[in-house]
Structure 1
Amino acid sequence: MTTAKAEVSAPAATGSTNVRSGIEAPNAKRRKVAGRRTNFEMYSWLFMRLSGIVLIVLVFGHLLIMNVLDGGVHRINWGFVAGRWASPFWQTWDLLMLWLAELHGANGLRTVINDYARKDGTRFWLMVLLYASVILTIGLGTLVIFTFDPSMGG
């Protein structure tokens, strides 16, 4: 009975890159990037999980109150919103839902852009558009929640 030994090619044994495919061997030594290393991606991953759990509670609570209880959507009008936003509790609820939903979605889109935008220029401009839309949406939403004037309704 003979035992077959697996031969390891020279590039794989030394940990270099396969020139044809551009893929590094699993045991390749990583080159170190100068500067301080951050854990941004780990915190981003953790934020997605935690914000997703909180958003489930906030959104289902919102849907239950707005669409199911006390007559459903037929009772939603200016007076209902004015009465609801007169309470700091509901202002905080809606503000937290706005901020978490926007940041959760933006973080997901940031990941998609980083994964699929091939050119650096394309990635840059998509990120600029993403961050500008996030700032605009969060800014305007926060402004509306805090400056809402119930006396303007007719």
Structure 2
Amino acid sequence: MDIVYWLIISVLFIVAFVGLVYPIIPSVLFLLAGFLLYGVFFSFERFHWLFWVIQGLFIVLLFVADYIANMVGIKKYGGSKAGVWGSTIGILLGPFVIPVLGILIGPFIGAIAAELIFNKRNFSDSLKIGFGSVIGFISSILTKAIIQVIMIAYFFIVVK
């Protein structure tokens, strides 16, 4: 039965990584579900208060990294808050409007549209900002993937 339990926990961790590419999937909740199911299936005994504090700090870091990477990518290319919001909306809607490629095209178009509409920027500048949003999104994925790997590695250190 242990194999089935570990399989369930592993699937939750894998879905958490899928959530990096599809932001509509709440990666953090799947990581936490994996930790909690380990406790339910095996024991919470190994999860001292320090485990939860450290994981909580990593969760905060995941959210901060996501926002900062997107904002820095857009700001570096001259974007504004409108570009950040447009990009964020594009990240959420893109995969539904344009399956597969929408995850990159969505923030790109969202940032461009927001800069054109709200800041009356020319198309060339808006295009650069859209490119910055994609760079920010990709760097966000990489940063969050590293954080999630650290969280899971720490989990395995604690439970083994």
* Structures share fold, TM-score greater than 0.5: no
Q: Give the number of the structure whose alpha-carbon radius of gyration is greater.
A: 1
Higher relative contact order (CA 8 A, sep 6+): 2
When the two structures are superposed, what TM-score results if normalisation uses the length of structure 1?
0.34
Instruction: Name whichever structure is richer in helix by fraction.
Output: 2
